[in-house]
């Protein structure tokens, strides 16, 4: 019985596929006589140098590769990328795969959305010595466009694994050293877990430091009393210069360079810091008595500390502070959640909005011609970049790293029960669970449904987090 995806379940229970636009020409996805033996032959190159810890399968079909692995007695984990979503249901019906899924041995990503891809990098963490790949020969021959799309998804997964490994190598010692240095601050300040559900149904504006933030600022000012403002640390100087004190400022990066966004600030008594425990110790100085700390992983020394009774809630951090700010809005219960300044691209050949610490480093104002010239040299000489379509379909300059952040945010938005709106105006952050709109249109006409002032809510949460 065929469906619109070109997949047919035959009377004998086998699966046939029809290439797009190819009339009534159907081909069996597996051998009709001994599909497990056929799968075992496909596995031979993958096992040529011994049993791999991870195997990538493009086109899992009915899962005979898993049967073949069982027959070998192999403990190999499998990352299966299935380009034909109509096959997945039949795969799940063929036999009980509970042992595979509950043990974590099988991760299945189904097209066209490949839900779960943004977190699949963890299968490569730590990266195995090798991760052989096998591709269904029928899919490779008859569905090359589908297989190519699956290959791009796999490239992003591997890129994510490599990026995280490099970050740990670069920052691992700093994570530990800073966290240990911050112990007294962590004990004295509050726990981010105390913010859970405190802003249920309250709109949130997430403020990122992309070049378009300059254009977003007037709308943020105009709607200031209708939403909780959650800003990434890079934006704080720009916001204060515009007369905006965000309610919450999120910091994750432990580097000395990033700390410059949070030291020597103008007075901002109404802004509260949500800081990862490994921030540079100086970053907490301007927020004494107004800090919620969190951890983004179980890196040292947290395992030892948690055994002593010291722990903090977690926020997800997928390479960008913006991912943690979004997760914070989810934890707080905010709805809708509106992105601003989230270009994830070098819009107008600029690194970020004006007024950040980067202007000081470059010695030129972010909106000046000199800045554009300096940034162009930086981009060409130092920073690998790609051309990516923006929300208008026009090419813009981005990076593989920005694309990885975008993919994570799209999937996280698609998997939450909130109205997620992108109001930046120029960005590659489109698709998934994110709809386009303006700040004014996204927010309700009335003030948020708070029975108390935002500052009072944060103060009460801070006290509760300290006494918990």
340 in any annotated domain: yes
pLDDT in tens, 29-56: 888 788 999 999 999 999 998 999 999 9
What is the predicted pLDDT for the residue at 382? Answer: 58
237 in any annotated domain: yes
What is the predicted pLDDT for the residue at 2? Answer: 42
384 and 433 part of one domain: yes
143 and 32 part of one domain: yes
DSSP, res 431: B
365 and 404 part of one domain: yes
Residue 47 sits in a domain whose CATH number is 3.90.190
What sign does the CA torsion over 15, 21, 25, 31 have?
negative
176 in any annotated domain: no
239 and 104 part of one domain: no
177 in any annotated domain: no
What is the predicted pLDDT for the residue at 1? Answer: 41
What is the predicted pLDDT for the residue at 451? Answer: 43
What is the predicted pLDDT for the residue at 30? Answer: 84
What is the predicted pLDDT for the residue at 448? Answer: 60
Helix axes 64-72, 35-43, angle to 10 degrees: 70
46 in any annotated domain: yes
134 and 193 part of one domain: no
267 and 325 part of one domain: yes
1 in any annotated domain: no
What is the predicted pLDDT for the residue at 203? Answer: 94
Report the domain count for the chain: 2
Residue range(s) defining the domain that contains residue 338: 185-467
431 in any annotated domain: yes
242 and 139 part of one domain: no
173 in any annotated domain: no
| Ranges in the chain, pLDDT < 70 | 1-6, 9-13, 19-25, 125-130, 357-383, 446-452, 468
129 and 202 part of one domain: no
What is the predicted pLDDT for the residue at 133? Answer: 93
Label residue 434 left, alpha or beta by phi (over 0 means left) and psi (-120 to 50 means alpha).
beta
315 and 189 part of one domain: yes
pLDDT in tens, 170-216: 777 899 999 999 999 999 999 999 999 999 999 999 999 999 999 99
Total length of the chain: 468
70 and 114 part of one domain: yes
What is the predicted pLDDT for the residue at 15? Answer: 76
207 and 305 part of one domain: yes
For residue 437, give the nearest of 223, 256, 264, 233 by alpha carbon.
223
Q: Give me the sheet containing 106-110, strands edge to edge.
A: 106-110, 77-82, 54-58, 133-135
């Amino acid at each position: 019985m065929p469906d619109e995806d070109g997949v047919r379940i035959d009377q004998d229970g086998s699966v046939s596929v029809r290439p797009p636009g190819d009339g009534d020409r159907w081909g069996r996805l597996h051998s009709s006589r001994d599909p497990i033996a056929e799968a075992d032959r496909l596995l031979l190159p993958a096992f040529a140098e011994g049993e791999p810890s991870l195997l990538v399968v493009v086109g899992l079909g009915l899962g005979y590769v898993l049967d073949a692995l069982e027959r070998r007695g192999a403990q190999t984990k499998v990352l299966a990328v299935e380009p034909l979503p109509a096959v997945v249901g039949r795969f799940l019906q063929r036999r009980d795969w509970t042992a595979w899924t509950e043990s974590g041995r099988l991760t299945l990503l189904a097209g066209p959305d490949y839900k779960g891809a943004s977190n699949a990098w963890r299968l490569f963490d730590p990266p195995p010595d090798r991760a052989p790949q096998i591709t269904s020969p029928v899919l490779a021959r008859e569905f090359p466009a589908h297989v190519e799309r699956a290959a791009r998804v796999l490239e992003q997964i591997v890129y994510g694994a490599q990026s995280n490994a490099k970050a740990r190598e670069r920052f691992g010692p700093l994570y530990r050293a800073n966290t240990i240095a911050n112990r007294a601050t962590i004990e004295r300040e509050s726990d981010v877990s105390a913010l859970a559900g405190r802003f249920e149904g309250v709109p949130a504006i997430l403020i990122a430091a992309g070049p378009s933030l300059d254009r977003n600022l007037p709308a943020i000012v105009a709607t200031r009393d209708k939403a909780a403002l959650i800003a990434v640390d890079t934006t704080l100087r720009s916001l204060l210069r515009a007369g905006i004190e965000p309610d919450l400022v999120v910091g994750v990066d432990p580097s000395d360079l990033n700390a410059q966004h949070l030291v020597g600030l103008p007075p901002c008594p109404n802004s509260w810091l949500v800081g990862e425990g490994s921030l540079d110790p100086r970053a907490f100085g301007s927020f004494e008595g107004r800090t919620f700390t969190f951890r983004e992983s179980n890196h040292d020394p947290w395992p030892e500390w948690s055994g002593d009774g010291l722990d903090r809630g977690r926020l997800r951090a997928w390479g960008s502070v913006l991912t943690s700010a979004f997760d914070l809005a989810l934890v707080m219960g905010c709805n809708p959640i509106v992105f601003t300044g989230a270009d994830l691209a070098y819009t107008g050949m600029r690194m970020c909005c004006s007024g950040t610490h980067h202007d000081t480093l470059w010695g030129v104002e972010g909106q000046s011609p000199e800045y554009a010239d300096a940034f162009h040299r930086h981009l060409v000489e130092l920073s690998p970049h790609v051309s990516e379509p923006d929300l208008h379909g026009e090419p813009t300059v981005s990076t593989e790293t920005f694309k990885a952040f975008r993919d994570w945010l799209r999937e996280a938005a698609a998997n939450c029960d909130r109205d997620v709106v992108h109001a930046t105006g120029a960005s590659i952050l489109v698709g998934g669970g994110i709809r386009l709109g303006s700040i004014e249109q996204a927010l309700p006409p009335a003030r948020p449904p708070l029975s108390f002032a935002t500052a009072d809510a944060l103060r009460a949460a801070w006290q509760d987090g300290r006494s918990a």
